[in-house]
Amino acid sequence: MNLRDLNKVWEIKALKKKPREDEAMKILEKVANQVQPIMTRRKWRVKLLSEFWPTNPRLLGVNVNRGVQVKLRLRRANNDGDFLSYHEILDTMLHELCHNAHAPHNASFYKLWDDLRKECEELMSKGITGTGQGFDAPGKRLGGFSLQPPLSSLRSTAAKAAENRVRSGNLLPSGPQRLGGDSSIMSHLSPIQAAAMAAERRLLDDIWCGSQSTDEALQDQENDSTEPVRETLTSLNARSAKRSSSCSNTTNSSPPSSSHQWGSDIIDLTEEPSESRFIKRSCNPSDIGQEG
């Protein structure tokens, strides 16, 4: 058996208790096919790509244990019969795949995400999906696929839609978009401006991406368990202040350590902290709700 055949999505699973299940499966299949050349090239594997509809409306995706499972939100938080745009879901998938290589949302992570976007844009412009030996078996060019707009322009559409959701009171973050990650923009900013923009992007991604802290229990709304929902929070104000202090002393500080302890800043709800806290995401959750 060729080990390259394993560098792909092994299995997909849509929620069975939600409307339009067949359409959800097709979306997951399409996403898996589109990212397969990227996964093959980088020797990445995802054992299970599944749909989730978490109780936390801000979560869009989660990577469990660097590819053991990737969960994607396909449906809008306030309407489970309405799907997010395909390219918004695809961009979230690219983001979650980056966690196969990098745990934190740091500079290396965002460089990789931008690289994956460019690579995916090129594949899409050529109508290429699959590898010929993987998920779609055989790989093929999809007629008319190249007529779709590039991912970069569709990111703008996704960002605008996310902004509208915020304004309408759904309290969803901006979602996957290039905030502080475009090198052409960053090159024209001062070091302080660039650091502030990068910090803002990390804070937003920490909300909608569920792929870093280890203690948060991501309770899926499809879980039939009667156990109470437990969500672990972290002090966004404290982290923001810490990062601001770090940014202001960048020139005098030593390079950060390459090691990163996932979930090191998690605070348990049982501590009853006094300061305001925000929901944080989970990369290696020990208690993920089961889909139907």
What does residue 173 show for φ and ψ, rounded to 5 degrees?
A: -70, 180
Per-residue CA distances from 41 to 36, 133, 152 (Å): 9, 13, 21
Catalytic residue among 96, 216, 222, 291: 96
Q: What pLDDT was estimated at residue 5? A: 80
Longest dimension (CA), the chain: 57
Q: What pLDDT was estimated at residue 209? A: 72
- In one-letter notation, the amino acid at residue 61 is G
Q: What pLDDT was estimated at residue 126? A: 87
- Exposed/middle/buried for 147, CB within 10 Å: 0-12, 13-18, 19+? exposed
Q: Which residues contact 171 (CB under 8 A, 6 or more apart)?
A: 57, 58
What does residue 206 show for φ and ψ, rounded to 5 degrees?
A: -65, -20
| Distance, first Cα to last Cα, the chain | 33
Taking the CA atoms of 124, 187, 207 and 168 in sequence, report the sign of the dihedral they define: negative
Measured in residues, the chain has a length of 292
Q: What pLDDT was estimated at residue 232? A: 26
Judge whether 262 and 214 are in contact, CB under 8 Å.
yes
Rg (CA), the chain: 19
163 is catalytic: no
- In one-letter notation, the amino acid at residue 172 is L
Measure the CA–CA gap between 185 and 149, rounded to whole angstroms.
22
- What does the block give as tokens for 239? 């982290």
Measure the CA–CA gap between 55 and 230, rounded to whole angstroms.
11
Q: Which alpha helices (H) appear in the chain, and where do they start and end?
A: 21-42, 86-98, 107-125, 151-167, 183-186, 191-208, 236-248
Q: Which residues contact 194 (CB under 8 A, 6 or more apart)?
A: 180, 186
Q: Which residues contact 185 (CB under 8 A, 6 or more apart)?
A: none
Could you tell me the mean pLDDT of each successive run of 10 residues in the chain, 292 residues long? 82 95 96 95 96 91 94 95 94 96 91 93 88 43 40 55 52 40 51 60 60 49 37 32 45 44 32 36 41 46
